[in-house]
Amino acid sequence: MDTLARKLGLKTNPQIFFWSAGLTITLLILFLVFQDWVGEAFGTGREWIVTNLGWFFILGVTVWLVFLIWVALSRYGKLRLGDDGDKPAYSNLSWFAMLFAGGIGTVLMFWGVAEPISHFSNPPFEDVQPYSPEAAEDAMSISLYHLSLHTWAIFTLPGLAFGYFIYRYKLPMRVSSVFYPFLKERIHGPIGKTIDVVAILGTVFGLAVSLGLGTSQINAGLSELVGLPNSVWAKVLIITTLTLVATASIIVGLEKGVKRLSNINILTAVGLMIFVLIFSDTVFLLRQLIESLGTYASDIIPLALWNDAMAEFTKDGGWGWQGGWTVFYWAWTVTWAPFMGVFLARISRGRTIRQFVVGVLLAPSLFTLVWFVIFGWSAMEIDGIGGEGGTISAAVAESVPLAMFEFFENFPLTTLIQGIAVVVVALFFATSSDSASLVVDMLCSGDAEAGPVRQRAFWGLTEGAVAATLIVLGGEAGLSALQEVITVVGLPIFILVTLMIPALYIGLRHEKHKVTPMTHDQFVRQYSDQLNGNGIGGAGAETGSAATEPATVTPATTTGPTAPATSATSSTTKPAGSRATPDRDPPVP
């Protein structure tokens, strides 16, 4: 493998690169040749995981969030992700902008209208009538539960682990480096490389699912605008075109141009949000912004611990609703964990653990709150709160990707706004693919610097090929197949991320004697600094003692991202303090 890598002009770890590439290509061939068998296998695998391990996914993410809060508030919060003298490379504003660009653009565009409307029209809780005010409040709380603090805990934990072990222990930028406390130098051997290969495969397939969702939404938008058929082959054509565009940007070196496009894209998305705010019931939305925050705060603990344990005693039993929503979300999101972990670590060097956790958890979560309130509540109001539903819920029932475009039918300049939305989704697709290629290449090489163009181009084409294959595999079922694949692929990644907690705890314990506990007065002063805009990498950041690089570790050398209706119908009991749900088919994302 070393000889082949040299002949091909690669700068990577040959074993990790060739095993990851070989297995990915092999899986693609198997998927295409044995479509029926593969579809059945993933369907069976998803059903088993959801039924027997759904509780593990739901409890796990809540545990990760609690652990992160504890670390931030503990004495370890003073430690820097880097050497003692390192300072943040980016201002607070730039850092927050990159957090948005890295993880939530495509997701918010896809689910901003679709998820609240789905829960609004098909409430998961007993005795809650569809389209009622109570259903609307529940829909907003569930949407925020799925896409705010818990989702960002999935990104924050690996990001913190990467930043800590890579920058303080001077280890390669690979997933296996996080497990140094368990494996020591064996992270460079077969066990470590196996971890890296599994993480890369999960990342590629997770990104492919996101690209598939984005492609479905672009197809829906073009169908509305120019009458493009909403079909499998239209989606393949779209994903092929955008993949070639993203790969071309890698080859010709348009990094600055892509960065500029990304910034423009973010501003355009924010512009769409402001447009909706202005041309909707503005006062109602501003009132809901405050009220929804309070409702989410009161519901988050019951929702985070809700496992639908009584579902097995209902008519059909099973994990219908949560299997199609919460478990799918966590399994899908965790496949982005290595990608987002590396991204967050790279842009956060020099920040303290406390600054990192507070910033990464809260800033995107607050933006998500604003986005969902403006798009979600506007959509539910248009559809008729207290009525019998309207065109938006009908569109979601027909095809989830249509939701955003049907929503814009209720605003002025409809065609223009729908066209802008298509462009925004397409640009998010291209820039995400470009960035993902860079990160996957880093996970192979262990080097924080970009590898040769040919390596990144290979991964860009591979991600597009996997996404196209999954679309073909899913056929008319579309998102159903994507959900089945990602639930199965997400399980091993979920286990790896869970094991990062003890690894990180052991690593932090090595520095216990170097960190003095923070007094109450110090905490109050630092919190005051953060409120004034100085606490996250600013001039007012804490200057207390930080740990030095662990003496026991020597610098390491390297060699070189419509969920289906389930068959089960469940009667769902709402978490403590809430209502519960009659027997009905589970809602379909």
- Residues 10-25: tens digit of each pLDDT: 788 888 989 999 998 9
DSSP conformational letter for 577: T
Q: Which listed CATH number (3.30.420.80, 1.20.120.920, 1.20.1740.10, 2.40.10.220) goes with 32-531?
A: 1.20.1740.10
- Determine the pLDDT at residue 468: 86
Q: Which of 552, 529, 544, 551 is nearest to 84 (CA)?
A: 544
Under 8 Å between Cβ of 235 and 365: no
Tokens describing residue 164: 């800590």
Alpha-carbon gap, residue 378 to 384, rounded angstroms: 10
Element (H, E) at 423: helix 414-445
Q: Write down the domain spans for the chain.
A: 32-531
More confident: 146 or 311 = 146
Kindly report, residue by residue over 368-403, the tens digit of the pLDDT: 999 999 999 999 999 999 888 889 999 888 888 888
Which of 163-172, 346-355, 426-435 has the weakest average pLDDT? 426-435
Say if residues 371 and 273 touch (Cβ distance below 8 Å).
Answer: yes
Cα separation, 96 vs 359, in Å, equals 8
Mean pLDDT within 81-87 = 85
**Cβ pair 198, 335 in contact under 8 A:** no
Q: How many CB atoms lie within 10 A of CB 193?
A: 19
> Higher confidence at residue 236 or residue 278?
278
- pLDDT score, position 254: 54
Residue for token digits 């630092």?
Answer: 526
Residue 134 is predicted with a pLDDT of 95
Minimum mean pLDDT among 62-76, 268-282, 480-494: which range? 480-494
Give me the amino acid identity at 130.
P
Torsion of CA 326, 330, 332, 337, to 10 degrees: 160
DSSP codes joined into one string, 317-347: -S-HHHHHTHHHHHHHHHTTHHHHHHHHHHH
Assess whether pLDDT exceeds 60 at residue 248.
yes
**Which residue carries 């049907």 as its tokens?**
406
| Among 500, 535, 517, 502, CA closest to 352 | 535
CA angle, corner 418, sides to 416 and 424, nearest 5? 105
Contact residues for 265 (Cβ-Cβ < 8 A; gap 6+): 101, 105, 424, 427, 428, 431
Give the pLDDT of residue 268: 86
- How much of the chain exceeds pLDDT 90, in percent? 34
Report how far residue 190's alpha carbon sits from residue 379's, in angstroms, rounded to the nearest whole number. 52
CA distances from 406 to 119, 132, 350 (A): 17, 21, 45
Q: What is the pLDDT of residue 557?
A: 34
Rounded CA-CA distance 189/385 in Å is: 59
Nearest to 158 by CA among 497, 494, 448, 400: 497
- pLDDT of 577 higher than 50: no
Give the closest residue to 20 by CA, choosing from 194, 207, 243: 194
Cβ contacts of 475 within 8 Å, gap of 6 or more? 232, 481
Is the separation of the CB atoms in 196 and 176 below 8 Å?
yes
Confidence tier at 100 by pLDDT (50, 70, 90):
low
Positive or negative torsion for Cα 250, 253, 256, 258: negative
User: What are the CA-CA distances from residue 259 to residues 90, 94, 255 (Å)?
Assistant: 15, 12, 6
DSSP string, 85-121: T---SS-HHHHHHHHHHHHTHHHHHHHHHHHHHHHHH
377: nearest Cα among 133, 563, 149: 133
Cβ atoms of 332 and 209 closer than 8 Å: yes
Closest CA to 381 of 131, 577, 174, 187: 131
Distance CA 335, CA 151 (A): 12
CA distances from 403 to 104, 113, 139, 562 (A): 18, 6, 15, 11
Tally Cβ neighbours within 10 Å of residue 106.
22
Decide if 392 contacts 377 (C-beta within 8 A): no
Amino acid at 194: T
Query: pTM for the complete prediction?
Result: 0.82
The predicted pLDDT at position 571 comes to: 40
Q: Rounded to an integer, what distance in angstroms lies between the CA atom of residue 116 and that of residue 110?
A: 11
Report residue 417's pLDDT band, with 50, 70 and 90 as the boundaries. Answer: very high
pLDDT at 70 over 80: yes
Angle among Cα 582, 150, 477 to the nearest 5 degrees reads 60
237: left (phi over 0), alpha (psi -120 to 50) or beta: alpha
For the ranges 226-240, 304-318, 344-358, the maximum mean pLDDT occurs at: 344-358
Q: In the prediction, which pLDDT does 480 show?
A: 63
- Give residue 114's pLDDT: 92
Q: Would the pLDDT of 174 be above 60?
A: yes
- Overall average pLDDT of the 3-9 stretch: 72
**Terminal-residue alpha carbon distance, the chain:** 44
List, in sequence order, the alpha helices (H) in 252-281.
255-279
Q: CA-based angle 360:440:333, to the nearest 5? A: 45
**101-127 mean pLDDT:** 83
* CB neighbours of residue 99 within 10 Å: 22
Give me the sign of the Cα torsion angle 200, 364, 371, 322.
Answer: positive
Residue 220: pLDDT band with limits 50, 70, 90 = confident
Token pair 């090595």 is found at 510
